[in-house]
Amino acid sequence: MFEWTTGGYDAAVREQIRGWLAEDIGSGDITTETTIPGDSRSKAVIHVKESGIIAGLPVARLVFDVVDPSLVFEAKVQDGERVDKGTVIAIVEGSTHSLLIGERLALNLMQRLSGIATKTRMFVDALEGLPVRLVDTRKTTPGHRLLEKYAVRVGGGANHRFGLYDAVMIKDNHIKGAGGIKAAVEAARRKIPHTMKIEVETESLAQVEEALACGSDIIMLDNMAAAMMKEAVARIKASAPHVIVEASGGVSLDTIHAIASCGVDVISVGGLTYSFHALDISLDLNAKKGGESL
């Protein structure tokens, strides 16, 4: 199963969690404070209400730890597992006040991340047997990019560039602003480290030829029809087999296999992180099963 391997990201995620909790709590959880004794303790069972791929359990653990380090969080599955409706994915024990304060943020994050992981796995499964890498884009929720890109990896996909700073990606507006592909590539090449790659977005065979002529490292085929895409891949591989070919634009579960069959190396799908169904996950206090406390 997939493991939480963000290394030094824990500190950054904790800082975000503090901000998200402050947004939700404000001056205090007035309902819990006025209805439940402060010394009340409970066991909370977190379970899924529909099948899917789980992602975000380590994040939920961080949420409850930030709320109250004395809470005991026990994951019953691992990120990356496919679970059925009704599966208990975690149990949290401790102060009832603390459990209820952390409940919504923990669930919100897990639901969204599990939704992304579930959708990503669908696309990965559709590519089974084909030598193509599925990647995400920068079309993420502001403030959630680190977590959403993590969820893509949990689902079996890979990450494209993380931000504007870690790769040169010359798109249509850069081409217009620079005065053409050749001018844009040459200007970038003069200023970036020799270790950084340059990707160029193309929409026609003429642009593909121009991107090839000026030594692009990665050529994106954007919203191309299958026939044009096959021709573009053939030209690129014939003259520069080392160049990575990426397909993007309008990729769906219905079209991704045909796109992959054109011979591209990478397929980027923005919808992995901006258009997905959040998995339905719930938390119940002192849940019973078969007459016994869970």
| Catalytic site residue from 76, 104, 145, 189 | 104
Helix (H, G, I), strand (E, B) or coil at 70: coil
Domain hosting residue 204, numbered range:
128-274
Helix (H, G, I), strand (E, B) or coil at 62: helix
CATH of the domain at 115: 3.90.1170.20
179 and 232 inside one domain: yes
Burial class of residue 3, CB neighbours in 10 A (0-12, 13-18, 19+): exposed
139 and 178 inside one domain: yes
| Catalytic site residue from 139, 145, 161, 237 | 139
| Catalytic site residue from 148, 201, 210, 265 | 201
CATH of the domain at 174: 3.20.20.70
109 and 56 inside one domain: yes
Contacts 24+ apart (CB under 8 A), 140-147: 140/273, 140/274, 141/112, 141/273, 141/274, 143/16, 144/112, 146/6, 146/9, 146/12, 146/13, 147/13, 147/56, 147/59, 147/109, 147/113
Does the annotation mark 139 as catalytic? Answer: yes
149 and 211 inside one domain: yes
282 and 168 inside one domain: no
270 and 281 inside one domain: no
Q: What is the pLDDT of residue 291?
A: 42
**pLDDT per residue as tens, the chain (294 positions):** 445 555 567 888 999 999 999 999 999 999 999 999 999 999 999 999 999 999 999 999 999 999 999 999 999 999 999 999 999 999 999 999 999 999 999 999 999 999 999 999 999 999 999 999 999 999 999 999 999 999 999 999 999 999 999 999 999 999 999 999 999 999 999 999 999 999 999 999 999 999 999 999 999 999 999 999 999 999 999 999 999 999 999 899 999 999 999 999 999 999 999 999 999 999 999 844 444 444
Does the annotation mark 222 as catalytic? Answer: yes
Question: What's the start-to-end Cα distance of the chain, in Å?
Answer: 24
16 and 67 inside one domain: yes
Q: Is residue 289 part of a domain?
A: yes
132 and 222 inside one domain: yes
Span 66-120, pLDDT tens digits: 999 999 999 999 999 999 999 999 999 999 999 999 999 999 999 999 999 999 9
Alpha helices, DSSP H only, in 38-95?
57-67
148 and 189 inside one domain: yes
Q: Is residue 3 part of a domain?
A: no
Does the annotation mark 24 as catalytic? Answer: no
Whether this prediction's pTM lies above 0.85 is answered by: yes
Does the annotation mark 84 as catalytic? Answer: no
- How many domains does the chain divide into? 2
| Catalytic site residue from 103, 148, 199, 222 | 222
Q: What is the pLDDT of residue 8?
A: 61
Contact in structure between 62 and 108 (CB atoms under 8 Å): no
Q: Is residue 93 part of a domain?
A: yes
186 and 285 inside one domain: no
List, in order, residues 6 or more apart from 264 with CB less than 8 Å away: 132, 221, 229, 233, 245, 246, 247
